[in-house]
Amino acid sequence: GKLFNAVHVATVLLLMVLTPLLSAHTISREKREGTLDLLFLTSLTSMKFVATKFASQFIRVLSIWAVFIPLSIVPLLSGGVLLSDVQLMLIVELTVILLGLSAGLLASVLSKRMLAALVLSLFFSGAFLWLGVLFVNSSALPRVKLNPASAVKTYGLNLLFVTLVTILILHWIARLLTRTKQTQGETAAQRWFRTVFLTPKYWSGAFR
């Protein structure tokens, strides 16, 4: 039991840091490289774009998460680990993954620079996890002694709540992208600067 808890505590700590950092550069990199403008020219909607980014990063994190499966088999075969312990750890780790991916994508759409996106993703991830802990503490009715079955039920309810919040955050990110798409374009000052300083006026035929 101690070995099982140590492995999964390390897994949770790794996912808390790694998951938002992996997804923090997905949309911001598209902004920096200018490929987001090209995607807006296609029939791809903002929601489909955000869902695709979320799904690809989710599969990427699951591949990292699968590395810890052989480490968990050893204490399971040795005994002393209940089925409720396995269910509880899986629910907690999946909750951390969903919150981390949501935090990373939200930070990625709000910032264009990579460093700012990384810092914002860690901040949002910590805030989301803190809200999740508050939700668990408020929904845990047997506060004195929480048995394994009620703990699985409480954290499963928290996972359902986190899933709904993740869907709402993805819709919000898609709306932010749509707003960016609608407000995109040159301002009057940018158009004047381009006309005066960046438009060739002399020998344009020779240099063409």
Cβ atoms within 10 Å of 63's Cβ, excluding its own: 9
Q: For residues 33 and 61, give the distance between their C-alpha atoms in angstroms, rounded to a whole number.
A: 24
User: Nearest-CA neighbor of 87 among 76, 79, 77, 98?
Assistant: 76
pTM above 0.85, yes or no: no
For residues 42 and 165, which has the higher predicted lDDT (pLDDT)? 165
Alpha-carbon distance of 67 to 61, in angstroms, equals: 10
pLDDT exceeds cutoff 90 at 58 = yes
- The predicted pLDDT at position 146 comes to 58
Q: What is the mean pLDDT of the chain?
A: 81
CA pair distance 49, 114, nearest whole angstrom: 20
Amino acid at 55: A
pLDDT band at 9 (very low <50, low <70, confident <90, very high): confident
Task: Look up tokens 């002399």; give the residue.
Answer: 202
Question: What percentage of the chain reaches a pLDDT higher than 70?
Answer: 90
Position 12 pLDDT exceeds 70: yes
